[in-house]
Structure 1
Amino acid sequence: MFLASAIAFLIPDLIRQWNVFVTRSPLLGLYYCTMLVGAALAAGLFALHDCLLPRDTPVRFNRNTRKIYVYEYTASLRRLQRWRKEIKIYDWDNIEAEIAKVSGFTGKAYVVRHELVLVICKAGTNEVIDRISLKGNDVTVETLYQLWSYVRRFMAYGPARIPDLKARVQGVSFVSSLFHFMPYISPTEEGRRFRSKMRWLDYPIIFLTIWFFWIWLPLGICNYIAMKCAPEPKWPAEIDAESRSLRSS
């Protein structure tokens, strides 16, 4: 989305310089036209690709069947086709977890992110047959450890022995999308939840980033369009019923 926005931002400037390129040299004008058309096509393709990205990839944990149900998407080799959905079912007893660390230097800052990954092993062995990303892009590992502990307690004892957890707000709201990159001032329920979890370290970061609201708000509108166009997960009826079942298999 950022790349598409950047390309689209440059197109008006290219149009304004039309006469400069054409009057100096026909070849330069031809090159200019090619560059303009290429930029427009690239912006359109990237925007369309953003609209085809899946809205969500849910994972369901059922302690009665002792299985997890994973709804994943597989990218198509054809860029403009919708992603292919893939349903995976694994036994809970064959699942471990690991925390992956991704770090890199952007040229100005050293960035570190962490991800909680479910590791599926072959029954009775440590041979890994698949990995499922459960939560990623976290600055610290504390939340990831808490999430894994929460999942394990739920699968061991059920909902009676775990803290109450508010479910994420479903659906796509224009207001929520508008403040997607500034949840700390969002008037929605998501914004209130975000503010209730804010730590002292968040306040200086907010102070430094809020001045770029003229960038975040248009990107929020782009996020709304992309989310409305994104395919919504639809479980097959049999698997949907099994994953919600209250009876052991």
Structure 2
Amino acid sequence: MKRPTLTPPCSGWKEDFNLPSEPTKIEPSPGLLNANYQDSIYLEISRHSIFMRELLLLLALASIPVLILSIYTLIDTVAHRQHELFLIVVIATLTGIWQAASFIRAILLTPRDEPIRFNRVRQKIYAYNFNFCWWNPFIPWPIKIVSYDWKDVRAERWRKQAVTHQGSHLVKTGIMLSIVEPGTNKVIDRFPLNNEYGEASIWAYVCTYMQHGLSAVPPAPLNRDHNDILWCQFAMRLAPEVKWPKKIDHESRTAPQAIPPVKVALS
């Protein structure tokens, strides 16, 4: 039986993938990748903390009148001294405040994208991480931009199962990137590579690109620019744009001595 090698393993751990310097066991495939950019110097992969933003915006708008009604009912209950209803109305009001705050903050604070850049020439990764807490909308949700050596990156596949209200089983899987203390298996940081698919082909593609370069992998399908927004994407217009710090932005996109990049030939 396989056992995790990292301390601690990621939540829902199922498998450790190969080390960054090891040959991959399967063919690299770009089929499940969401890439923003790719050339001979770096590969940028897109990530998202929330999906279906437009639906979330509708829920946020719907929660506002419900919250107003709850507050009005609370005031009316106190005014008429309806003690038997007071606790129920207070709970309903607090729930409404929590729900409205969660939806609105998710819409207004979650960036349009949370990319990771894999710089092959520097052998480093740069992650634009957004840290949110879905059950507590009243604490800071910061953006934390980090950079690590590629040799200290580890990849784990996770799998989680939940039971829906209808009794069916919902299975989610993904790939977690863990950063270890050099020369150890002790994890010092952790963030997702992919929250939708736990396929080894994703990690194999990244590893092959970082080990052998652009010519060793098929071109990844490129996303639309996340700032090029369609007229109907109202929720996305409210989301913050991705803003890398100037120094990190330059470093993550360039080689140490400005080696000219070889761009992907798109068909």
- TM-score over 0.5 for the alignment? yes
Superposition deviation, residue 80 in structure 1: 5.6
Match of 1:66 among 111, 115, 123: 123
Alignment of 1:232 with 2:241, yes or no, is yes
What's the CA shift string for 1:72-95, capped at 9, x where partnerless? Answer: 13449x946763222211111111
Unaligned runs of 5+ in 2: 1-55, 259-267
CA displacement at 1:109 relative to structure 2: 0.6
Partner Cα separation in structure 1 for residue 94 and residue 120 of structure 2: 53
- 1:121 aligns to 2:187 (yes or no): no
Distance in 2 of aligned mates of 1:120 and 1:87: 14
Structure with the bigger RCO (C-alpha within 8 Å, sep 6+) is: 2
What is the one-letter code of the residue matched to 1:137?
A: E
TM-score (norm 2): 0.58
Aligned partners of 2:154 and 2:178 also within 8 Å = yes
Give secondary structure in 2 for the equivalent of 1:54.
Answer: coil
Of 192, 199, 204, 1:133 maps to: 192
Q: Secondary structure at the match of 1:71?
A: strand
How far the C-alpha of 1:42 sits from its partner, in A, is 4.8
Using the TM superposition, name which of 41-50 and 231-240 deviates more.
Answer: 41-50
Counterparts of 1:74 and 1:28 in 2: how far apart (Å)? 42
Residue 33 (structure 1) shift: 8.3
Letter in 1 for 2:188: I
- Aligned identity (percent) is 29
SS at match of 1:137: coil
How big is the shift at 1:119? 1.8
Q: Tell me the equivalent position of 1:194.
A: none
For 1:52, the equivalent position in structure 2 comes to 109
1:154-205 Cα shifts (integer Å, max 9, x gaps)? 1011112211112211223234x4xxxxxxxxxxxxxxxxxxxxxxxxxxxx
- SS of the counterpart of 1:231? coil
The answer to whether 1:156 aligns with 2:211 is yes
Which residue of the partner structure matches residue 141 of structure 2?
83
Deviations 1:129-167 (A, max 9, x none): 2222010133xx4xx311111101110111122111122
Judged with a 3 Å threshold, the aligned counterparts in structure 2 of structure 1 residues 28 and 174 are, in CA distance, closer, same or farther, namely farther
Pair 1:165-2:165 in alignment: no
**Equivalence for 2:170:** 111
Equivalenced residue count is 191
The correspondence for 1:241, drawn from 241, 245, 250, is 250
How far did residue 3 of structure 1 move?
A: 6.2
Q: Please, which runs of 5 or more residues in structure 1 have no aligned partner? A: 178-223
Distance 1:8 1:88 in 2: 36
Q: CA RMSD in A?
A: 3.7
Q: Are 2:83 and 1:26 equivalent residues in the alignment?
A: no
Q: Distance in 1 between matches of 2:185 and 2:201?
A: 24
Shift of the 104–245 alpha-carbon distance from structure 1 to 2, 3 Å rule, reads: same
**Aligned residue among 115, 134, 156 for 1:98:** 156
**Where is the helix percentage greater, Structure 1 or Structure 2?**
1
- Paired AA for residue 149 in structure 1: A
**Residues 75-118 of structure 1 deviation map (CA, whole Å, 9 limit, x = unaligned):** 49x94676322221111111121101111212421111111011
